[in-house]
């Protein structure tokens, strides 16, 4: 069965420090992986995706993610966190044969000034 | 380009009543999806339309939920009769036709069943 795990409910980081939000997945076929961010009272905004190719994917707002097939992980990273990055982050996976997303439970990122 | 819009943004109803949620996808997007997030848990897939056809409705919880997409444009999701466990945030998303394309989400409808 397909699944996504985001092991941390909340991540706290000081402004200016690097941040990592973890995501691991399980699919039967080739994974298509996505990160979304949700700000208060807003919908999910697309950050980045891995479909194929280079394992390091760069996305919006300075975020990047690294696809690691052996560890079945797709951690979200940013070299220097901003207070404005504080939000709820969702990892999602799609099996190459389907259109529907399987989401993780979300990780709340709090960047402290 | 206008994004995905959903109406209403909030709905509070009594158990047993009927509620209809509406989603307007991005123009030209043939794929339309409904998802639901309940009680701060993961966002769960409900169903997927390609134009006006239901491609995958494996996530629909029971026959109290009815989704339609007449004419392949906007979609409605009706809950009749609503139960307490239907409370949550209902998201609609749309995408272009290839599997590589990301989905664009609306702001969601927060449904509270009392």
User: Over chain B, what HEC string results?
Assistant: CCCCEEECCEEEECCCCCEEEEEECCCCCCEEEEEEECCCCCEEEEEEEECCEEEECCCCCCCCEEEECHHHCCEEEEECCCCHHHCEEEEEEEECCCCCCCCEECCCEEEEEC
Interface of B with A (CB under 8 A): 3-4, 31, 33, 35, 40-45, 48, 55-56, 58-59, 91, 93, 95, 99-100, 102-108
CA distance B99 to chain A (A): 6
Chain B residue closest to A101 (CA)?
B45
- DSSP assignment, residue A73? E
Q: Do A100 and B107 touch (CB under 8 A)?
A: no
Q: What is the pLDDT of residue B43?
A: 94
Per-residue model confidence as pLDDT tens digits over A67-78: 999 999 999 999
Residue by residue, pLDDT tens for chain B (114 residues) are 689 999 999 999 999 999 999 999 999 999 999 999 998 788 999 999 999 999 999 999 999 999 999 888 999 999 999 999 999 999 999 998 777 889 999 999 999 999
Burial class (CB in 10 A: 0-12, 13-18, 19+), A8: middle
Assign A60 a pLDDT band (cuts: 50, 70, 90). Answer: very high
Residues B59/B65, Cβ–Cβ less than 8 Å: no
pLDDT at residue B97 in the model: 78
* Residues B41, B65 contacting (CB under 8 angstroms): no
In whole angstroms, what is the distance from residue A10 CA to residue B95 CA?
Answer: 30
Query: What integer pLDDT is reported at residue A6 of this predicted model?
Result: 96
Each residue's pLDDT tens digit, A96-113: 778 899 999 999 999 999
Which one has a higher pLDDT value, A44 or A95? A44
For the segment A2-52, what is each residue's pLDDT rounded down to a tens digit? 899 999 999 999 999 999 999 999 988 888 999 999 998 888 999 999 998
Distance, in Å, from the CA atom of B44 to the CA atom of A92, rounded to the nearest integer, reads 11
Is the peptide bond prior to B8 cis by the omega test (within 30 degrees of 0)? yes
Please give the pLDDT value at position A1. 77
Is B70 buried (19+), middle (13-18) or exposed (0-12) by CB count in 10 A?
exposed
Report chain B residues whose CB lies below 8 A from the CB of A65.
none
Among partner residues B41, B55, B91, which is closest to A44 by beta-carbon distance? B91
Chain B CB contacts of A42 under 8 Å are 107
């Amino acid at each position: 069965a397909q699944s996504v795990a985001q092991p941390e409910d909340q991540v706290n980081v000081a402004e200016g420090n690097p941040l990592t939000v973890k995501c691991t997945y399980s699919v039967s076929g080739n994974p298509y992986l996505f990160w979304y961010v949700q700000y208060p009272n807003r919908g999910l905004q697309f950050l980045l995706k891995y479909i194929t190719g280079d394992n390091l994917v760069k996305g919006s707002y300075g975020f990047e993610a690294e696809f690691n097939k052996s560890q079945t992980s797709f951690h979200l990273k940013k070299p220097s966190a901003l207070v404005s990055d504080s939000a709820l982050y969702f990892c999602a996976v799609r099996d190459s044969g389907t259109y529907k997303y399987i989401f993780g439970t979300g990780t709340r990122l709090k960047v402290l000034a | 380009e206008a994004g995905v819009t959903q109406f209403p943004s909030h709905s509070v109803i009594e158990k047993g009543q009927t509620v209809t949620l509406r989603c307007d996808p991005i123009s030209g997007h043939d794929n339309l999806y409904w998802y639901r997030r309940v009680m701060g848990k993961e966002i769960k897939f409900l169903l997927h339309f390609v134009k006006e056809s239901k491609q995958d409705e494996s996530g629909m919880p029971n026959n109290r939920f009815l989704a339609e997409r007449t004419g392949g444009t906007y979609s409605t999701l009706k809950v009749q009769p609503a139960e307490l466990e239907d409370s949550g945030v209902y998201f609609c998303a749309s995408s272009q036709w290839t599997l590589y394309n990301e989905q664009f989400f609306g702001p969601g409808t927060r449904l509270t069943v009392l």
